[in-house]
Structure 1
Amino acid sequence: MAFTAADVKKLRELSGAGMMDAKKALEETNGDIEAAIDALRAKGLAAVQKKSSRTAAEGLVGVAVEGTKAVAVEVNSETDFVAKNEQFQDFVRKTTAVALGLGGDDIEALKAAAYPDGGTVMDKLTNNVATIGENQQVRRMKTVSVSQGVVVPYMHNAAAPNLGKIGVLVALESEANPEVLTGLGKQLAMHIAAAFPLALDADGLDADLIARERKIAAEKAAESGKPADVQEKMVDGAIKKFAKENALLSQIFVIDGKTTIADVVAQAAKDAGSAIVLKDYVRFQLGEGIEKEESDFAAEVAAAVAG
């Protein structure tokens, strides 16, 4: 058996499956949690697919806007305690400002860029690790801009101005009144924070992700025992549903529960008397995609005492 009781517990938390179902899935996949989740979903036993909100990495997301350009940056730390440290917050704030001036999404270029207090961003990070005594990482950045219009920032669970756990940027290309665009952008940003879209539109969804969903849908269809042509339609329908639910423009607006985001933007443009294009967005959730090891605090204390 290539897995532990902790793996079973983790799979249950991620999938919502029962203990025996989780254990059997891990046995079938030789302890591969990702594959076990897919197997449970194919059997209809997983309540939810793995979400980034299940991760446990700490730190802060920073956002900064200047004119029609904005950037989001994620900086990780080992504990939430450090994320509340003023020295760490100051570093994230200044690094985000550097990223805004730099543009793009090249994290290595950001690390090598000049830091306001001297040296490079990486130099300052190294110094912080030494003085704070905890590992830290400048993980990712993304810049969005428009030629005319606004880029609206939104921070969910803010720890300080423009610093928090979920940072969102919404880029609206338009000649409409900036105040109108900002109001629309704020509503769209709150939707994005809550609904977790995976791409702006269906064409932007990751090809590997679609292939994975298609495989799961095919396994479910095969279990139905229906004719091959019917199974094919079932798979196509499942993929269309997945794309609709995960592409921003086709998602249902969380504020009214009935209108698609594309229609929300279209109606706003009609009301404003000017075309509005939702050009791009950013949604950075702290720790997204990072797995953090769970520690046994009692065992650690016992080990320290024994040492």
Structure 2
Amino acid sequence: MQRAGAKRGALPARFFRAAAPVLAADKESLLQLRRRTGLPILQCRDALQRCGGDLTQAEAWLLEQARRQGWSSAPVARERPAREGLVGLLREGPAAVMVELSCETDFVARTTEFQRVVAQAALGAMELCRRAPPAARACSQHFLQPEELAELQTGPGGGPLSEELALAQGRLGEAVSLRRAAWLRVRPGAGFVSGYAHGGPAADPGSGPVALGTLGALVACGARGVARGGARVAALEALGRQVAQHVVGFAPRRVGRARERRRGGEEEEEALLAQEFLHAPGRRVGRVLRAPTPPPPPVSAGVTRGR
């Protein structure tokens, strides 16, 4: 375009030069604004566009909108400790995942909004587990690293989980974060994975197949040569669930052996197989699992706590 009265042959004047940095939003400013406010990327981009790319003005504008519309208390929430929350368990074939989301109050943990995000995190972790290369061992476990947690999606074909966390934090007015996630899987035909979630809320259709609770455990059991779908498999999986309940109740630190050496005159109680079984008082877990009907001892066990 040319300004009125401009000489012929002169370079055209650009009326929107100041807007160029906004339209090509500075990625670093965008990420920094999101970290400061905890708000979704789209809202942060809109704020930068409205404020000509000025980070300080954009943050002030977002905070003012938050106060007016009541859609976020994120900057304040980030300062407070998040000691409540839920775990989510999802089983699929020979694998299972467990995630832990934290919030500040038990009241928020009981909301359908928070539970929905827990379910989305579990679905995202399972999708990552599906894409992971098969392990050489019969049983493998993996705790997601910070960069993997940051890249989780909400499930197959879904968007970034980080966006859902930011939205939930804005709607709920509390700090909401994904603390940790892990999966446990066995080689097909080598066994199965059982799980147990304790103290969960009433079943919510939004969580789908994801089991919710304040405490949870996954246990992998070896059961070779047993056809799936039979009564024996059902009995073995029921026993695996009982072992997972035991893990939640007694919190063993390792699988161990059925008989542990005494230390300081007291029997070691940190090993799963050496503990008295929750469902069979007087009998150790290892002895129960060596019986003819149950499967061989678990090849791995994991536990995480929501509080």
Partner residue, 1:122: 162
Which residue, out of 165, 169, 178, partners 2:233? Answer: 178
Whether 2:275 is the aligned partner of 1:251: answer yes
Partner residue, 2:217: 168
Q: Secondary structure at the match of 1:93?
A: helix
Partner residue, 2:304: 284
CA deviation vs aligned residue, 1:211-246 (integer Å, no higher than 9, x gap)? xxxxxxxxxxxxxxxxxxxxxxxxx8435846x311
Aligned residue runs from structure 1 range 51-70, under 5 A: 57-70=83-96
Deviation of 1:187 after TM superposition, in Å, equals 1.6
TM-score by length of 1: 0.59
- Which structure: greater helix fraction? 1
CA deviation vs aligned residue, 1:3-50 (integer Å, no higher than 9, x gap)? xxxxxxxxxxxxxxxxxxxxxxxxxxxxxxxxxxxxxxxxxxxxxxxx
Whether 2:293 is the aligned partner of 1:271: answer yes
Contact 2:194–2:218 (Cα < 8 Å) also in 1: yes
Runs of 4+ in 1 over 3 A off after TM superposition: 116-119, 239-242
Whether 2:99 is the aligned partner of 1:73: answer yes
Deviation of 1:132 after TM superposition, in Å, equals 1.4
Which residue, out of 141, 158, 172, partners 2:181? Answer: 141
Aligned residue runs from structure 1 range 20-35, under 5 A: none
In the aligned structure 1, how far is the partner of 2:272 from the partner of 2:297? Answer: 13
Contact 1:62–1:72 (Cα < 8 Å) also in 2: yes
In the aligned structure 2, how far is the partner of 1:138 from the partner of 1:246? Answer: 28
Deviation of 1:165 after TM superposition, in Å, equals 0.6
Q: Secondary structure at the match of 1:246?
A: coil
Partner residue, 1:302: none
In the aligned structure 1, how far is the partner of 2:275 from the partner of 2:161? Answer: 38
TM-score by length of 2: 0.59
The unaligned stretches of length 5 or more in structure 2 are: 1-80, 130-141, 204-210, 227-231
Q: Secondary structure at the match of 1:254?
A: coil
- Identity over aligned pairs, percent: 29
Which residue, out of 196, 200, 204, partners 1:154? Answer: 196
What RMSD over aligned residues (CA atoms) do the two structures have, in Å?
Answer: 2.5
Contact 1:102–1:110 (Cα < 8 Å) also in 2: no
Q: How many residues matched?
A: 196
Code of the aligned partner of 2:143: D
Deviation of 1:56 after TM superposition, in Å, equals 8.7
Contact 1:107–1:138 (Cα < 8 Å) also in 2: no
CA deviation vs aligned residue, 1:93-122 (integer Å, no higher than 9, x gap)? 111111112133214213212224853111
Aligned residue runs from structure 1 range 201-216, under 5 A: 201=256
| CA pair 180-239 structure 1, distance change in 2 beyond 3 A | farther
Contact 1:168–1:283 (Cα < 8 Å) also in 2: yes
Q: Which has the higher contact order (CA 8 A, sep 6+)?
A: 1
Partner residue, 2:251: 196
CA deviation vs aligned residue, 1:227-277 (integer Å, no higher than 9, x gap)? xxxxxxxxx8435846x311111111122222111111111xx126xx623
Which residue, out of 143, 160, 164, partners 1:105? Answer: 143
